[in-house]
């Protein structure tokens, strides 16, 4: 029926059309949502209507065919970030160049190391540890695979009582619920997205959108694969944050992760993430290390990469 026919329809005919839509029961639910390339996804190749009862109850039938997504060629036209509303103008960059043309200066940077935990999740949750060296670690980041086959998509596991313990300290001080307001605010603070800078809608959705309830799994209609947990390695001293870093002089130390699903059983969206029955890969721990680039005008420009010293040690070299 086209728009003209619909507008010319009598009230009783419009009523029948309305009942038709009200009586439809959706027989197919999207289960893959956003996914990665070379991953088997469901492609809807045909949609039909099937009458279920004589009273008029109908079912929307979808014919599904599995397909593997791949890319032969691509052009990057746009980049996204978890931060919005910020940029440096050309004039600003030029003034920075002129200011440091004859001065020694330091550019703080960070090095990221990824470690996979040895064991994965169970029906009751996760408790696993990894022995690794820590050197000037300022943040700990946790990544949870969307499912067993998606190695670059990470989503909210919907866990509570989650905490990381290392060097005799708990991160954070109180265990986390990855869906409550306190956790959301903590992640904005850890990413410096709570004052001057603003988080993107995609990042906020990944942090706040539930993927299940006690009775059913949910299929969100937005991309939730930007999820990560950032834990700052800091101490709260008299209302001020002291960044003292985690450093074990390159000696191995145990880093333990523990947590439990908010909803156990069939609706556990992390343990039952893969419809083929495969269990998710072990979560990933990323350690964020402070490093520094020292630039100077000597000999037409010099550059030193320092990853062994603290910020105070590096600054003392140029004062």
pLDDT at 124 over 80: yes
Q: Which residue has the tokens 């960059």?
A: 93
Alpha-carbon span 67 to 112, nearest angstrom: 35
Dihedral pair phi/psi, residue 81, rounded to 5°:
-145, 165
pLDDT at 231 over 70: yes
Q: Compute CA distances 156 → 183, 272, 285, whole Å.
A: 12, 13, 15
| Length of the chain counted residue by residue | 319
**Comparing C-alpha atoms, which of 238, 240, 233, 220 is closest to residue 289?**
233
pLDDT digits (tens, 9 = 90+) for 267-301: 898 888 766 677 888 999 999 988 888 887 776 67
Q: Provide, rounded to the nearest whole percent, the portion of the chain with pLDDT above 70.
A: 74
Alpha-carbon span 37 to 152, nearest angstrom: 10
What integer pLDDT is reported at residue 4 of this predicted model? Answer: 47
**Overall average pLDDT of the 198-208 stretch:** 87
Alpha-carbon span 279 to 122, nearest angstrom: 9
What integer pLDDT is reported at residue 179 of this predicted model? Answer: 93
Who's near 254: CB < 8 A, 6+ residues apart? 129, 130, 131, 166
pLDDT digits (tens, 9 = 90+) for 130-151: 999 998 898 999 999 887 777 7
**Overall average pLDDT of the 36-55 stretch:** 72
pLDDT band at 235 (very low <50, low <70, confident <90, very high): low
| Domain ranges within the chain, ordered by starting residue | 3-68, 83-292
**Overall average pLDDT of the 179-184 stretch:** 93
Q: Which of 65-79, 103-117, 157-171, 238-252 has the lowest mean pLDDT?
A: 238-252
pLDDT at 163 over 60: yes
């Amino acid at each position: 029926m086209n728009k003209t026919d619909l507008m010319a329809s009598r009230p009783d005919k419009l009523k029948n059309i309305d009942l038709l839509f009200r009586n439809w029961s959706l027989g197919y639910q999207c289960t893959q949502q956003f996914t990665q390339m070379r991953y088997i996804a469901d492609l809807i190749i045909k949609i039909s209507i099937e009458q279920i009862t004589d009273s008029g109850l109908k079912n929307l039938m979808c014919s599904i065919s599995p397909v593997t997504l791949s890319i032969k060629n691509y052009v990057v036209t746009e980049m996204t970030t978890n931060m919005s509303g910020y940029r440096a103008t050309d004039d600003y960059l030029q003034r920075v160049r002129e200011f440091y043309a004859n001065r020694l200066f330091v550019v703080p940077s960070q090095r990221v190391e990824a470690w996979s935990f040895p064991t994965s999740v169970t029906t009751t949750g996760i408790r696993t540890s990894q022995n690794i060296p820590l050197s000037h670690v300022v943040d700990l980041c946790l990544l949870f695979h969307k499912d067993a086959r998606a190695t670059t998509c990470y989503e909210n596991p919907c866990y509570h009582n989650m905490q990381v313990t290392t060097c005799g300290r708990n991160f954070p001080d109180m265990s986390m619920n990855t869906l409550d307001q306190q956790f959301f605010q903590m992640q904005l603070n850890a990413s410096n997205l709570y004052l001057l800078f603003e988080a993107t809608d995609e990042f906020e959705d990944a942090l706040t959108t539930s993927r299940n309830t006690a009775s059913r799994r949910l299929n969100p209609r937005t991309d939730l694969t930007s999820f990560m947990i950032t834990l700052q390695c800091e101490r709260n001293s008299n209302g001020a944050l002291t960044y003292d870093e985690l450093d074990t002089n390159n000696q191995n130390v145990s880093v333990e992760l523990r947590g439990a699903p908010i909803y156990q059983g069939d609706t556990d969206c992390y343990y039952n993430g893969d419809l083929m029955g495969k269990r998710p890969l072990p979560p990933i721990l990323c350690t964020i290390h402070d490093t520094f680039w020292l630039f100077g005008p000597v000999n037409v420009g010099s550059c030193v990469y320092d990853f062994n010293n603290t910020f105070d040690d590096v600054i003392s070299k140029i004062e």
